[in-house]
Structure 1
Amino acid sequence: MPSRAESEVKAALAAVEAEDATLAEKVEMLMEIAMGLQTRPKSPEQLLQAVTLYETALALCPPEHALLRGRVHARLATALQAVPTDDIGPLKRAREHLETARGILEHEGRAEEIAEVEMNLGLVLQSLAAARAAPITAAISAYQRALRTFDGRRYPKEFAILQNNLATAFLSIPFSDERAKMREALAVQAFQEGLKVVDFVEHPSEYAMLQNNLGNALQTVSSAHTVENRLRALDAYEEALKVRTRAAAPVEYANTIANQANCLCGLPDDLDRPEAGNRGNLVRALARYREAAEIFAAAGEEAKVGAVAGMIADIEAELDAAPKSNGATPAYAAN
């Protein structure tokens, strides 16, 4: 017995076939139906059905409609990108479709369409690089090409996302050579460039993402100014929490307070007397980890619950073993 999604797709195909329309118009209809399935999929099966519809659209698309064909390739790639699987096959297919779309759109499409393809190609290449199936430098190049069109003045949202993606790509390169510090610096600079064009009022999601990820980068960069960087990271997390509230975005909020907790664990209570320890900041970190664990558990994020539980156990053991605080004021206390 066919599933509901399969039945819906068959009905859509039959409706398109019955329409008194040109082939190009039918291709447009199929794309619209596929985009509807893809926008808010209720199951992975709906994404696969969207892929089927895009493939049907490609098969129907007349050769003389090159621009339309390029757009179908681009949309099909985004559906393949979104398929939840550990198999890199869909990503490899997405890469092929994006490269085909780029080749067509470079002659037929608008600059913004080409830049969007480059943006998505960068994401696909970055995912393939994580699976050691593509060089991360290819992803970086795609993002940089997209930035030729998506500049900060005209396209602040896209610019911010691209800067975030660039930064995470830089940070994903193994730090095993003398250029590691330069790549870390480029990553921090990219986050900061993105933050120049967005704020928490006009572009709250992008602002919070950049601040959270900047905080993570500042925690991990190699530097002689570790404490200063951690204080800057805590400020970045506080900025992210202006958007990522527990009520509005509980999982994102939990991610950020867990990052904040990790940062607090490495800060002394008294910056002038680091040898006095950090019991006060450990207590604050413990409270944030416990809150994050509660939210992750409610959201069914079992892997994150496990990771945070490990941190909680480590801090509790450290607090049990450490001498009591001498009353020093913590280096940082979030409001």
Structure 2
Amino acid sequence: MPSRAESEVKAALAAVDAEDASLGEKIEMLMEMAMGLQTRPKTSEDLQQAVLLYEKALELCPAELFLLRGRLHARLATALQAMPSNDLGLLKEAQRNLEAARDILKHDGSPEEMAELEMNLGLVLQNLASANAAPITAAISAYQRALRTFDAKAFPKEYAILQNNLATAFLSIPFSDERAKMREALAVQAFQEGLKVVNIIEHPSEYAMLQNNLGNALQYVSSSHSVENCLRALDAYDEALKVRTRATTPAEYANTIANYANCLRNLPDDVERPELGNRANLGKALNQYHEAVEVFTAFGETQKVEVVNEMIVEIEAELGQMDHAGVPVASAVGIQ
């Protein structure tokens, strides 16, 4: 028995076939139906059906309708990007479609269209790079090309997202050479540049994202000022938590409080007397880790649950062995 999405798409295709319209208009109809499924997906199957509609539209689209064809490739790529899967084949197919769209649109597409395409290509390449399936430098180059159009003044939201993506790309490069500190500094600078153009009122989600990721960068940057950086990181997390609440954005909230706990693990209770240890901060971190586990469990984030539970076991062991002076502890990995 066909699913709801399959039935709806079948009916839509039949309606388009029966429509007394030009080929170009029919292709536009298919694209709009696909965009509707993609924009408001109820299940992953909606995205699968959107992909099928885009592919059908491309099949019908003649070469002379080159702008429409380029836009179909670009839209198909974003649907493939959004598919919840670990299949690298989907990302590689998205990359191929974005590159096809770029080849078509580079002469007649608008600057904004090309910048959005480069932005999406950067994301695909960055995800492929995380699986060692593409060079991270290719993603960085795509983001930088997008920034030629998406500048801070005219496109603050896009500019901020690109600065965030650039920073996370810099931080994903292994820190095994003499340029590691420079890349860390570039990442922190990129987060700060993004925060110059967005604010908590007009761009709350972008503001919180940048603050959370800035906190992560500050927390793990190689520096002789680790305590100062930790305090700056906590300030950034506090800013993110003005937007990310358990009631409104529980998954993002859990990410940020887990990062906050990571930072507390490395911070003395009294920064003026670090020799007294961090027993109190370990206790606060433990409470935040427990709350994060509750939320991650509710959302089925099993990998994050495992990571945070490991932190809980470590802290409980440290507190059990600790004398009243306390001892310093190692850091964990930030969650975006």
Gaps of 5+ in 2: 327-336
More displaced stretch, 307-316 vs 166-175:
307-316
SS at match of 2:30: helix
Q: Which residue of 2 aligns with 1:246?
A: 246
Q: Which residue of 2 aligns with 1:222?
A: 222
Question: Can you list the C-alpha shifts for 1:150-170, whole angstroms capped at 9, x where unaligned?
Answer: 011111110010000000000
Tell whether 2:169 aligns with 1:169. Answer: yes
Counterpart CA distance in 2 for 1:17 and 1:184 is 55
Question: Can you list the C-alpha shifts for 1:74-128, whole angstroms capped at 9, x where unaligned?
Answer: 0001011111222211111111110111111111111000000000000011111
Between the two proteins, the alignment pairs up a number of residues equal to 326
Paired amino acid for 1:280: A
Question: Can you list the C-alpha shifts for 1:240-290, whole angstroms capped at 9, x where unaligned?
Answer: 001001111111111101100010000111212211111111111111111
Matches within 5 A, 1:172-321: 172-321=172-321
Q: Which residue of 1 aligns with 2:2?
A: 2
Deviation for aligned residue 1:306:
2.0
Contact 2:275 2:325 in 1 (8 A): no
SS at match of 1:196: helix
Paired amino acid for 1:207: Y
Q: Which residue of 2 aligns with 1:76?
A: 76
Tell whether 2:90 aligns with 1:90. Answer: yes
Q: Which residue of 1 aligns with 2:152?
A: 152
Paired amino acid for 1:324: H
Deviation for aligned residue 1:302:
2.3
Contact 2:296 2:305 in 1 (8 A): yes
Question: Can you list the C-alpha shifts for 1:119-155, whole angstroms capped at 9, x where unaligned?
Answer: 0000011111111111100000000000000011111
More displaced stretch, 81-90 vs 139-148:
81-90
Deviation for aligned residue 1:60:
1.2
Counterpart CA distance in 1 for 2:8 and 2:305 is 37
Question: Can you list the C-alpha shifts for 1:16-48, whole angstroms capped at 9, x where unaligned?
Answer: 111111111011100010011111222222211
Contact 1:73 1:97 in 2 (8 A): yes
Q: Which residue of 1 aligns with 2:133?
A: 133
More displaced stretch, 251-260 vs 113-122:
251-260
Contact 1:151 1:159 in 2 (8 A): yes
Q: Which residue of 2 aligns with 1:333?
A: none
Deviation for aligned residue 1:62:
2.7
Paired amino acid for 1:33: M
Counterpart CA distance in 1 for 2:278 and 2:262 is 13
Contact 1:167 1:186 in 2 (8 A): yes
Deviation for aligned residue 1:325:
5.8
Paired amino acid for 2:144: Q
Paired amino acid for 2:87: D
More displaced stretch, 198-207 vs 298-307:
298-307
Tell whether 2:18 aligns with 1:14. Answer: no
Identity %: 75
Deviation for aligned residue 1:220:
0.9
Counterpart CA distance in 2 for 1:300 and 1:83 is 17
SS at match of 1:201: coil
Tell whether 2:42 aligns with 1:42. Answer: yes
Paired amino acid for 2:294: E
Counterpart CA distance in 2 for 1:182 and 1:209 is 23
Q: Which residue of 1 aligns with 2:23?
A: 23
Please, what TM-score do these two structures have when normalized by structure 1?
Answer: 0.95
Deviation for aligned residue 1:3:
2.5
CA RMSD of aligned residues (A): 1.2
Gaps of 5+ in 1: 327-335
Deviation for aligned residue 1:188:
0.5
